[in-house]
Structure 1
Amino acid sequence: MKASLYLVLATLFWSGNFVVGQAAVASMTPLDLTFWRWSLAAVPLLLLARFIEKPDWRAVLRRWPVLLLLSLLGMSGYTLLLYGALGYTSAMNASLITAANPALIVVMAIVLLGEKTTRLGWLGICIGLLGVLLVLTRGELQRVFSLAINTGELLMIGAVAVWGCYTIIARRLDVPVIAATAVQVVIATVTLAPFALALNVQFPDTPAEGWSLAYIAVFPSLAAYLFWNLALRTTPPGTAGNYLNLMVVFTAVITVALGTPLTLMQIVGGLMVIAGVLLTGVKGQATLKVA
């Protein structure tokens, strides 16, 4: 039950990142957002790890190779690709490509981890994906075939692949969750620092940019990664990945809150996404296992 709540909260905060990030890239570069995002989240994460988990830091740092890899994938790579994509492609195309993530994670888990799933698990993924398509195409599924692939969409495809790898590797990491996340964030800050200096990364100089960065640093950076990694301790990657479809639903809700009305297709598609997530989430732990 806790794992499901963690996954829902993580996807909620990441949905806000799509909306806020889309606005932020109009005046800030992907490197600006990525570097300051992790720089601001590093110290709070280290303090949380110190006072909540009290980890053996020497033992944690002995896993530096895999932590370095996870940082390059999930903290630096995925984030740079995401913000880069939002500067070129529409929210519709970016969300549509993101919807392929759950299926990709399941396939990667089967190939790389030897996990097995049932027809019921695949049914949940298909229902969720169909719901996403209904939301994004407003019920006109043929629109999927008319989408042109541009630079932004190619970047999103790369982001999806990178996140799939991050989820698979993080599932097997035997390091306290908060400590692992904190070290990954510190590594991202350190490895990005030379590029930030060379490219003269700018700190936000307007209130709007400041509030955008504050949200990105606290919720999708600090809270969402913690919740995601906590959930992966007890949730198979395929099951966790299916929750990413909720991002479309949450994005729709945020859009409505900002004044855009919700259509019938968005409601129907959203219900299908939730049904698919519940089907995979409730049954997935019983049917998805390591061979």
Structure 2
Amino acid sequence: MTQGLTPRTTLLLVVPPLLWAGNAVVGRLVAGLVPPMTLNFLRWALAFVILLPLAHRVLQRGSALWPSWKRFSLLGLLGVGCYNALQYLALKTSTPLNVTLVASSVPLWMLAIGWLCFGQRVSRQQLAGASLSMAGVLVVLSRGQWAMLAEIRLVPGDLYVLLATLAWAFYSWLLSQPKEPAEIRDDWAAFLMAQIVFGLGWSGFFSAGEWALTDAHISWGWPLATALLYVAVGPAVIAYRCWGMGVQRVGPAIAGFFSNLTPLFAALLSAAFLGELPHLYHALAFLLIVGGIVVSARR
């Protein structure tokens, strides 16, 4: 049962966008040092090691994890195996600001997936808000030039991040309808570890395919080691913990609104660390996306 939006819950839902914006910037910085699928695998492997002292019981033979393996395998595929791997792949051909702005369409996909897969009703007001948000995404995809839409001149990164957003929306709806045993659900470390166990299998499979089918290589050094430590501790462990708690408290529809803070943080961090200044169309897109969610969320 969802609760009202309290200051504590607000803080829980603000932390993940800040850390995810940093994740996009770091992913861009190390794009030439490590392949995207491998980066995702190494990130979650480190997160596994970090959580092991807190959640090793969930891996024991008699744990409640194994009877629920189908659910956690799906959560691991969407949240661990696909979402960030696709974002890291997108960052090879797109900027952190573009990636996070397109990902801000997640509330639109929340509504669509909730209606199609979970029997949620969608009001006219929500449809109006979703249309505004979609217009904001189109502004990003067209780079502020509507004629480009007719020419379908999209970089691969734009499509990858749309797929990542779909995966995240479905993942968030699954989180809002807990079906796992209470002994795992009520222990945040065990709950995240249960997803990582199966997610590592998925991400390892994707990474193996990357090395088999491309000329993948890794440039080891302190820059990569520091980046891996950040993406494992911040955007992985801390952000997933805060997001999971926030979604369970207020539901995925309201939580999805906070994801729109990610491009704002990404714009600030990109300007500070990458020298990639935002354009006027980025501001217009952000206003449309946030405006759409405000319209759909009004009572």
Q: Please state how far the C-alpha of 1:15 moved relative to its aligned partner.
A: 1.4
Q: Does 1:5 align with 2:14?
A: no
The alpha carbon displacement at 1:23 in A equals: 2.1
Residue 178 of structure 1 aligns with which residue? 189
Aligned pairs (5 A) from 1:1-291: 1=6, 2-49=8-55, 58-91=63-96, 93-128=98-133, 148-174=153-179, 175-176=185-186, 177-193=188-204, 199=211, 205-258=220-273, 259=275, 270=286, 273=289, 283=298
Supply the distance in 2 between the matched residues of 1:30 and 1:261 (Cα, whole angstroms). 24
Q: Is contact 2:35-2:218 (8 Å) kept?
A: no
Structure 1 unaligned spans of 5+: none
C-alpha separation between the residues in 2 aligned to 1:126 and 1:34? 32
Secondary structure of the residue aligned to 2:112 is: helix
SS in 2 for 1:234: helix
Indicate the SS of the match to 1:58.
coil
**Deviates further, 68-77 or 262-271:** 262-271
Question: Structure 1 residues 262 and 34, CA, compared in 2 at 3 Å: closer, same or farther?
Answer: closer
Q: Once the two structures are superposed, what CA deviation does each residue of 1:136-180 show, in whole Å capped at 9, x if it has no partner?
A: 878666665555134333323322222222122222124234322
The answer as to whether partners of 2:16 and 2:235 remain within 8 angstroms in 1 is yes
Distance between the aligned counterparts of 2:154 and 2:140, measured in 1?
A: 20
The 1:279/1:156 distance shift into structure 2, 3 A limit, reads same
Partners of 1:96 and 1:136 within 8 A in 2:
no
Q: Give, in whole Å, the separation in 1 of the partners of 2:27 and 2:254.
A: 26
Gaps of 5+ in 2: 1-5, 180-184
Cα distance between partner residues in 1 of 2:236 and 2:89: 17
For 2:283 and 2:202, the matched residues in 1 are separated by 43
- 1:209: how far off? 1.5
Decide whether aligned partners of structure 1 residues 22 and 146 sit closer, same or farther in structure 2, where only a CA change above 3 A counts: farther
Q: SS where residue 103 of structure 1 aligns?
A: helix
In 1, the alpha carbon distance for the partners of 2:25 and 2:232 equals 14
**Offset at 1:95?**
3.8
C-alpha distance in 2, partners of 1:139/1:88? 18
- Cα 1:61–1:100, aligned 2, differ >3 Å: closer, same or farther? same
TM-score (norm 2): 0.76
- Partners of 1:272 and 1:8 lie apart in 2 by 20
AA partner of residue 49 (structure 2): V
In the alignment of these two chains, the number of paired residues is 281
Aligned residue type for 1:216: V
- Over the matched positions of the two proteins, sequence identity in percent amounts to 27
Contact 1:125 1:280 in 2 (8 A): yes
Seen in structure 2, the aligned counterparts of structure 1 residues 118 and 47 have a Cα distance that, compared at 3 Å, is farther
Q: Which segment is superposed worse, 96-105 or 205-214?
A: 96-105
Equivalent-residue separation in structure 2 for 1:25 and 1:110 (angstroms): 36
Following superposition, the deviation at residue 100 of structure 1 comes to 2.8
Moved more, 113-122 or 242-251: 113-122
Distance 1:36 1:116, change over 3 A: same
Contact 2:106 2:259 in 1 (8 A): yes
The 10-residue stretch of structure 1 (257-266 or 107-116) with the greater mean CA deviation from structure 2:
257-266
In the TM superposition, residue 10 of structure 1 has moved relative to its aligned partner by: 1.1
